[in-house]
Amino acid sequence: MNIYIGNLSYDANEADIRSAFEAYGAVDSAKIVRDHETGRSKGFAFVEMSDADEGNAAIEALNGAEIAGRAVKINEARPREERPRTGGDRGGFRPGGDRGGFRPRGNDRGGDRGGFRSRGNDRGGRY
């Protein structure tokens, strides 16, 4: 049984989680999810227990309990959803797209929403 632990303290470690769950049965693994770049906890973890009855007892007893100084939310983990791949575009330049990026308007004067235009004087700036 895979168990989700949310609202986890950033100071918690795998030993804290394992010891809390071992009171209810054998723990196969305890894993805190961490940020790939910084290594810092993301505030949630997963515990695997081989016996479903022991896992359900742990969920019932520990949901709302304090682990490492913080009340946690615990429930059975749902299977990971398949999400469509987007091709790696994360909101950068997309001409004509509906979000973000630079979209030239008309003759590149900025249209009615402002922008920089020359009025024939040397003051420049936004008008």
Residue spans per domain, the chain? 2-76
Using pLDDT thresholds of 50, 70 and 90, give the confidence band for residue 80. Answer: confident
**Radius of gyration over every alpha carbon of the chain, rounded to an integer in angstroms:** 26
Place of tokens 């949901």: 63
Most confidently predicted of 77-81, 82-86, 87-91: 77-81
pLDDT at 105 over 80: no
Q: What is the pLDDT of residue 7?
A: 97
Residue type, 21: F
Residues 2-76: name the CATH superfamily: RRM (RNA recognition motif) domain (3.30.70.330)
Nearest to 47 by CA among 71, 69, 70, 72: 72
User: What tokens does 46 get?
Assistant: 């997963």
| 87 or 52: which leads in pLDDT | 52
> Per-residue pLDDT tens for 14-73?
999 999 999 999 999 999 999 999 999 999 999 999 999 999 999 999 999 999 999 999
pTM for the full model?
0.64
Q: Which residue has the tokens 């805190």?
A: 32
